[in-house]
Structure 1
Amino acid sequence: MEEHIYKEGYRVIYGSSENSTVIARDLLQTFKNYQVDGYILAPTAGLDDDINQLVKEGYPVVVFDRASPDLQCSKVLVDNFRGSETAVLHLIDNGFRNIAMVTLAAGQDQMNERVNGYHAALQKHGLPAILKEIIYNEDPHKTIQNLKSLLKCKKDIDAIFFATNYLALSGLQALKESGLIITRDIGVAVFDDINNFALFNPAITAVAQPIKEIGLRVTKILLEELQDNHIIDSQNILLKTKLIIRDSSARLLV
């Protein structure tokens, strides 16, 4: 985003809400005090009224990553449902039948869509769902212990689909500490690829989001709204994900 905005003579002021609505509101007020020209937001839950108020006041606003239907602004999102469904169907095609999903108990729209995709894939094949929710910002050590407990209680789990890459990192540690070996004992797939997943042994299958395209689309829309004094219609863009198949989702060795 910065790369493209800089070329047009604008500068970026950045802040992280840490998924807190209180912090997000403070940041929005701070930005308003700095008289920013427009907003690019990955909104927290409960921020819809604040965002819609910015739009009513005439500010160009574009949201990405997550959004509710009630937002009255442009949105650049990825197809979380299809991305998740595709990954789980891939695991099923490779012979996995007891697939657990580890996700966040955050109630975020994009997480809900990933869970919905997981359920849809299982329902197509009449397979049981094993859903484990982790509290957002939970201490990683606690997450590891929770996942170890899951593996101990559900010994028939033969694959795990992680809803985020950072949950996967805790999950891989839990597998290691549980003595489970990927490709021998269990399969793994993750939503949201990172470069390091290709370097793991075995390499980790992951759903890749079109990060560069998200940045391009978001900045393009914002710049258009700035140049047209916010009179263009809101845009709703849904981008496709791509499943990067690596060794972690291969059929288990027998």
Structure 2
Amino acid sequence: MGKIDIIKLAEALNLSKSTVSRAFRDSSDINPQTKERILKMAKELNYQPNHYASNLREQRSKTIAVVVPELANNYFTQIIQGVEKVAKTEGYHILIYVTDDDIEKERDFIRSLSNGRVDGVVMSVTGESTDHSYLQHINFERLPIVFFDRTYDDIDAPKVVTDDYHSSFMATEHLLENGCERIAYLVVNKEQSIGKTRMQGYVDALKKHGMPLLEGLVVDCSNSYTENDEIIGHFLLRHAPDGVLASVERLAFSTYYACKRLEIDIPQDLKLIAFSSLEIASLLDPALSTIRQPAVDIGERSAHILLKQLAGHVLEESERRVVLNSELVVRASSGMK
């Protein structure tokens, strides 16, 4: 049926547009059974009424939603800072929504925001391996969305990402050049865009240097520090890697904890590098080598693109997919020379 509006919803129910409209206004002059049928069909078709559109079509809320998987990661807080910095210059406020990597929360947030509460959304997505077709029913002219970091490739919306493949390749090559022969790749979800792309960089770097991808060296972890302590500790004892590439920051922390508990010396016994924008990485013991993503810049670019859309301008093709470069910062944890 395509994107659902009130006219299509009325046609599907064989009712008049005014009857459907009264159901959403909670009008008293509508049969309760009819109202229930309308609301049920609307939910099934993922239709959300825009309560502002009928009377306030030209009015803006001057608010942008920022949807992130978590706030514990310093990376996302820096991105939020970037969005807010740009939004403020144009008189916009931001609202922050945290999905906790829960696709149901993501769906609920977007559905609730599509009724006019905010003018637009910048979002790092959650459910790449699950059904996210609900977005195909969102009217992006009414609610423009800009993806950053984690994206849905099958959704036609602007995206701001980093050079994950090149960064992972470069980090793996750095470990190889520092003498590592059994390099592990730690990942939370191999099916997510970032996990998949970073893993490919890792695999191709090994291949370039004639190193096999050894069984068991790609480790599936979780978002729980408690679970990761057990997963990584068990892995280190069983497979004895001499290098670790952590695809996200929390997995580097868990590796530090596990190594300390097992009396594995970093970097003497195990060299470690991680994707991280942690500002205190240099203060860890030993200082953590990082692939530092331009988090604030990601937020700024995402906000600029969204505000350009809200101003009614057509995006250039180069603005539909922006790829920013990360920086390899070598410190003691990977055997800084």
TM (normalized to structure 2)? 0.70
Partners in 1 of 2:336 and 2:235 — Cα distance?
Answer: 22
The residue that corresponds to 1:170 in the other structure is 254
How many residue pairs were aligned? Answer: 248
The DSSP-based 3-state class of the residue aligned with 2:184 is strand
The DSSP-based 3-state class of the residue aligned with 1:13 is strand
| Correspondences of 1:34-53 after superposition (within 5 Å) | 34-45=116-127, 46=130, 48-53=132-137
The residue that corresponds to 2:220 in the other structure is 133
Match status 1:124 vs 2:172: no
Moved more, 58-67 or 18-27: 58-67
The residue that corresponds to 2:89 in the other structure is 7
Partners in 2 of 1:169 and 1:94 — Cα distance?
Answer: 21
Using the TM superposition, give the Cα deviation of residue 231 of structure 1 relative to its aligned residue in structure 2, in angstroms. Answer: 4.1
The residue that corresponds to 1:232 in the other structure is 315
Match status 1:21 vs 2:106: no
Tell me which of 298, 305, 309 is aligned to 1:214: 298
Larger Cα Rg: Structure 1 or Structure 2? 2
1:136-171 superposed Cα distances (whole Å, 9 cap, x missing partner): x33x2221111111111113x111111111111111
Match status 1:68 vs 2:152: yes
Q: Unaligned stretches of 5+ in structure 2?
A: 1-82
Tell me which of 245, 248, 254 is aligned to 2:333: 248
Identify which of structures 1 and 2 has the higher relative contact order when contacts are C-alpha pairs closer than 8 Å and 6+ apart.
Answer: 1
Contact between 2:168 and 2:198, CA under 8 Å: does it hold in 1? yes
Match status 1:111 vs 2:191: no
> Any runs of at least 4 consecutive aligned residues in structure 1 with deviations exceeding 6 A, and if so which?
none
1:198-241 superposed Cα distances (whole Å, 9 cap, x missing partner): 1012111010001121111111101110111x643561111111
RMSD: 1.8
Q: Unaligned stretches of 5+ in structure 1?
A: none
Change (3 A) 1:12 1:251: closer
Using the TM superposition, give the Cα deviation of residue 54 of structure 1 relative to its aligned residue in structure 2, in angstroms. Answer: 2.5
Change (3 A) 1:74 1:55: farther
Using the TM superposition, give the Cα deviation of residue 79 of structure 1 relative to its aligned residue in structure 2, in angstroms. Answer: 1.1
Using the TM superposition, give the Cα deviation of residue 51 of structure 1 relative to its aligned residue in structure 2, in angstroms. Answer: 3.0
Partners in 2 of 1:119 and 1:216 — Cα distance?
Answer: 32
Contact between 1:183 and 1:247, CA under 8 Å: does it hold in 2? yes
TM (normalized to structure 1)? 0.91
Using the TM superposition, give the Cα deviation of residue 246 of structure 1 relative to its aligned residue in structure 2, in angstroms. Answer: 0.5
Give the share of equivalent positions with the same residue, in percent.
27
The DSSP-based 3-state class of the residue aligned with 1:67 is coil
Moved more, 142-151 or 40-49: 40-49
Match status 1:153 vs 2:231: no
The residue that corresponds to 2:138 in the other structure is 54
